[in-house]
Amino acid sequence: MNVVEKLRNVNLRPTKQRILLAKQILDGKNKHFTAETIQKEVLSNGQSISLATIYNCLNKFVSVGLLKQIDQQGEVTIFDTNVSHHHHFLNQNTGELIDIDPDEIGFSKLPKIPNGFESDGVEVLIKIKE
């Protein structure tokens, strides 16, 4: 399926910017990246796109399920093309994320959820360093 079809399948209008970014990131490979690294790749290919436009497109891709956003408590935002449920190691020396299969992690006890709230999932980020 080409990127225009992928965008249309999730009811996104295939704009020039969305097509450019989708070609860059939705190639079927699992990868982790920031908006800044995508901008550098696009610029190195002789094309131009603003960082604000990249963030807008990536956030829209997240909202329709094409990407997953990895929360790092205020640090740089990392996006993930693997939208299935999984966890990560974060290499603190390099910033690289490494996927962890969800079957490799188990929980014996979780805290009680505060009144008025419901769980929206559990994602584990294990920080590692050399």
pLDDT in tens, 6-39: 999 999 999 999 999 999 999 888 999 999 999 9
Q: What is the pLDDT of residue 40?
A: 95
Residues 47, 24 share a domain:
yes
Beta strands per DSSP E along the chain: 32-33, 68-70, 78-80, 87-91, 97-100, 125-128
The residue-averaged pLDDT of 110-115 equals 93
- List % helix, strand, coil for the chain (3-state, nearest 5): 35, 15, 50
State which residues form the domain around 26.
3-79
Among 79, 94, 117, the domain boundary falls at: 79
Residue 74 has pLDDT above 80, yes or no: no
The residue-averaged pLDDT of 79-106 equals 92
Q: What is the pLDDT of residue 65?
A: 96
The residue-averaged pLDDT of 56-79 equals 88
DSSP-assigned letter for residue 59? H
Query: What is the token pair recorded at 123?
Result: 């994602």
Q: What is the pLDDT of residue 84?
A: 92
Residue 120 has pLDDT above 90, yes or no: no
Q: What is the pLDDT of residue 123?
A: 87
Residue 73's pLDDT band, with cuts at 50, 70 and 90, is low
Helices 51-63 and 16-25, axial angle in degrees (round to 10): 70
Residues 28, 72 share a domain:
yes
**Contact status, residue 22 vs residue 42, Cβ threshold 8 Å:** no
The residue-averaged pLDDT of 50-70 equals 96
Residues 110, 75 share a domain:
no
43-54 pLDDT, tens digit per residue, is 999 999 999 999
Task: Give me the number of domains the chain comprises.
Answer: 2
Residues 69, 7 share a domain:
yes
